[in-house]
Amino acid sequence: MSLAFTLHSTSSQCPARRGEVKTVHGTFQTPIFMPVGTQATVKAVTPEDLQTLEAQIILANTYHLFLRPGHELIRELGGLHKFMNWHGPILTDSGGFQIFSLKDLAKITEQGATFKSHLDGSKKFLSPEDTVAVQEALGSDIMMVLDTCIPYPATEKETIDATKLTSRWAKRCRDVQNQATGQLLFGIVQGGMYPQLREMAVQELLEIGFDGYALGGLSVGEPRDQMYDLTEHGAALLPRDHAKYVMGVGTPDDLVECVYRGVDMFDCVMPTRNARNGMLFTSQGRVVIKNAQYQSDPRPLDENCTCYTCRNYSRAYLRHLYTSREILASHLNTVHNLHYFVNLMTEIRQAIDEDRFVEFRKEFYDKRQV
């Protein structure tokens, strides 16, 4: 049984569930969305903005912080929380996904990952043990094991090899972890698009035993229905008394659909990145703020939204800021999009608490039809 996760309730009609995760820097409620703070800052907002938005936990990227400013420097300065002035829970990924994204610049061996820095081309190496040491130096609340990401599509043979390597790496991570810090360590289920290999991966990870489990290698190009099927299948295999996390997901629809299938935790750059590109989420669907139709529109982005941006600014002003390339555009858009994602999860939690999540899901789609 995990000491970190507490299950509060489950839907009577689907695998959706309510719970909480306890960390050294506080407890957060699940299902939860984690804003991404790649380089020790959630782009375009302050930690106080995140508090106002009621973000409960954020994610930072081990790969980026390892390269710049370096984990030893962050340790010296008192850890990531103090460095970036965010005193709530932080989850760090292991860097596996970023290294995988470097493609030809990365080489995977039994020992670990050799890769070239995207910043200066210098050669770097991270073993599974190294990624734990880096995350311990950062002082994050939830650490992730180093995993090998599997390209899409991949043969069964490639997928078996990569999945088995991920399990061996997971064991090495768990073995070197310093239990005294109170930092949690989550395993990552690979297995590609093969359900039986995902079953094998879950089995191997459960034998090691982690504080929580992520479904990795999803949303990598496969059809959406396949992603949902693998999520449902994977979430059902994972133990009821541990948090279940789908990495890098996703759209508002993805959040609703994955909660429906039993997932507790999510992260994605979508709300922040899209905000900076002028793509905004509303209860009626997406708004591309540069469009001429908003030029003299005095209404807030979303008349049902209570965020700072919607309470104080018109679509016309937001369009002006965006077309004028003003920094305030990124800020106001990010505040709105993060509010949309955080608030969606609050509504989801309320719906599960009141055992009306299936109804909530239907209403969520109905609003789009308006």
**Residues found near its own copies in the complex (CB under 8 A):** 39-41, 43-46, 68-69, 73, 76-78, 83-85, 295-296, 298, 312-314, 316-317, 319-321, 323-324, 326-328, 330-331
At residue 345, the 3 state secondary structure works out as helix
- Which residue pairs, CB below 8 angstroms and at least 24 apart, start in 312-321? 315/287, 315/289, 318/289, 318/294, 319/289, 319/290, 319/291, 319/294, 319/295
Nearer Cβ to its own copies (21/74): 74
State yes or no: is 225 an active-site residue.
no
Cβ nearer to its own copies, comparing 90 with 146: 90
Distance in Å, CB of 116 to its own copies, minimum? 18
Tokens 């719906």 identify what position?
351
Largest distance between two CA atoms of the chain: 61
**Helices 195-208 & 156-176 angle (0-180, nearest 10):** 10
CA atoms within 13 A on the CB side of 139: 19
Nearer to its own copies by Cβ, of 76 and 363: the residue is: 76
**Cβ-based nearer residue to its own copies, 126 or 332:** 332
Q: How far apart are CA 187 and CA 144, in angstroms?
A: 6
* Least distance CB 321 / its own copies (angstroms): 6
In the complex, least distance from residue 312 CB atom to its own copies, rounded to whole angstroms: 5
* Residue 175 designated active-site: no
Q: How far is the CB of 298 from its own copies (least distance, A)?
A: 6
**Residue placing its CB nearer to its own copies in the complex, 287 or 321:** 321
Shortest distance in whole angstroms from residue 295 CB to its own copies: 7
Which listed residue (264, 267, 297, 366) is catalytic? 267
Edge-to-edge strand ranges of the sheet holding 5-10 = 5-10, 17-23, 26-30
User: SS3 of 194, please?
Assistant: coil
Answer for the pair 237, 202: CB distance below 8 angstroms, yes or no.
Answer: yes
Q: Which of 93, 141, 147, 302 is catalytic?
A: 93
| Token pair listed for 107 | 């080489």
Residues designated catalytic: 93, 267
